[in-house]
């Protein structure tokens, strides 16, 4: 379906309708409608400049929509402040990890919990360290981690916020295959616990392996939505939007 809605969708956690955000003459998001179902792992793909990051910014409250609706877990959140949206249970990563360089890995996780739910934070930090295989660097300063480990820590900080919907922005870009594997396994485990994911990804291997459904954007619009196989079979999408042969 070209509008990004799920076929027979039951209970979407995120509903976006006719969303617009232009920057001067640039139609960054130009009439996007999509649903993300609870416990789904939805992939958002599209060429550079197609509007994926702007859509994340709109949903997470970093950018205000010109018009349109964004409904998260029953709340209309379009135009609300980022911290208010985060408090409702929506968390995101950034392309450049956001962390406290001078604090240890564990302290960074605890600081993220302190921004949201403190209850059980120490136990959750220990679980998160194990999930992301960061135990051996728990006491290291964040600034001393490798780039890949910093991406894991960024993901860990998001996990600590106990969100019900997590937006991941190219979380596996440029990381070592071992770290990618840790991230993919963590996503699968967290989904088993009921967490929903919307992920921006350029890595088609990751998209194929973890996403239940793929939403394709081009020039500020959703141009296709379906399973990996549906998308790959759609030669127009593959050639025009992804520049790949079928
Ligand atoms: N704050 C802004 N001011 C002006 N133009 C912007 C702003 N944010 C995004 N744009 C423009 O909006 C368009 C969509 O950009 P966006 O970053 O959302 O695309 P994207 O699909 O995430 O691209 P990429 O894969 O390169 O990250 C681009 O033309 C971009 O230059």
How far is C-alpha 149 from the chain's CA centre? 18
50 lines ligand 1 (CB under 6 A): yes
Is residue 47 classed exposed, middle or buried when 0-12, 13-18 and 19+ CB atoms within 10 A define those classes? middle
What is the spatial distance between Cα 204 and Cα 226, in angstroms, rounded to a whole number? 14
Q: What is the mean pLDDT of the chain?
A: 90
Q: What is the DSSP letter of 135?
A: G
pLDDT at 6: 46
Q: Which of 158, 46, 162, 153 is nearest to 104 (CA)?
A: 153
Counting residues of the chain whose pLDDT is more than 70, the rounded percentage is 91
What is the spatial distance between Cα 244 and Cα 242, in angstroms, rounded to a whole number? 5
Long-range Cβ contacts of 117-124 (<8 Å, 24+ apart): 117/161, 117/162, 121/160, 124/159, 124/160, 124/162
49 lines ligand 1 (CB under 6 A): yes
How many Cβ atoms sit within 10 Å of the Cβ of residue 191?
17
23 lines ligand 1 (CB under 6 A): yes
Where are the chain's structural domains? 39-63+80-241
Is residue 87 classed exposed, middle or buried when 0-12, 13-18 and 19+ CB atoms within 10 A define those classes? middle
Digit-coded pLDDT (tens) for 132-179: 999 999 999 999 999 999 999 999 999 999 999 999 998 888 889 999
Q: Which residues pair with 103 in a beta bridge?
A: none
Centre of ligand 1 to C-alpha 54, Å, is 6
CATH architecture of 39-63+80-241: 3-Layer(aba) Sandwich (3.40)
Centre of ligand 1 to C-alpha 234, Å, is 25
The segments of the chain whose pLDDT lies below 50 read: 1-3, 6-8, 245-246
Centre of ligand 1 to C-alpha 141, Å, is 33
ipTM score for this prediction: 0.97
47 lines ligand 1 (CB under 6 A): no
**Token pair in block for residue 108:** 């960074």
pTM score of the predicted model: 0.90
pLDDT at 246: 40
pLDDT at 242: 60
48 lines ligand 1 (CB under 6 A): yes
Atom of ligand 1 lying closest to residue 56 CA: 18
């Amino acid at each position: 379906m070209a509008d990004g809605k799920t076929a027979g969708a039951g209970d979407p956690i995120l509903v976006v309708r006719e969303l617009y955000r232009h920057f001067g003459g640039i139609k960054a998001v130009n009439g996007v409608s999509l649903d993300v179902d609870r416990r789904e792992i939805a992939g958002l793909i599209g060429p550079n400049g197609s509007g994926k990051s702007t859509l994340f910014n709109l949903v997470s409250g970093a950018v205000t929509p010109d018009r349109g609706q964004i409904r998260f877990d029953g709340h209309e959140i379009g135009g609300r402040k980022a911290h208010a949206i985060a408090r409702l249970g929506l968390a995101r990563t950034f392309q450049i990890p956001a962390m406290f360089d001078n604090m240890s890995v564990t302290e960074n996780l605890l600081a993220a919990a302190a921004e949201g739910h403190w209850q059980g934070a120490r136990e959750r930090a220990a679980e998160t360290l194990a999930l992301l295989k960061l135990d051996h660097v728990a006491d290291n300063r964040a600034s001393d981690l490798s780039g890949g480990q910093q991406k894991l820590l960024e993901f860990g900080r998001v996990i600590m916020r106990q969100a019900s919907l997590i937006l991941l922005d190219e979380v596996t870009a440029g990381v070592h295959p071992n770290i990618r594997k840790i991230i993919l396994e963590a996503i699968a485990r967290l989904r088993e616990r009921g967490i929903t994911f919307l992920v921006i990804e350029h890595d088609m291997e990751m998209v194929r392996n973890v996403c239940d459904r793929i939403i394709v954007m081009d020039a500020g619009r959703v141009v296709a939505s379906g399973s990996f196989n549906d998308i790959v079979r759609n030669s127009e999408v593959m050639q025009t939007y992804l520049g790949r042969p079928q």
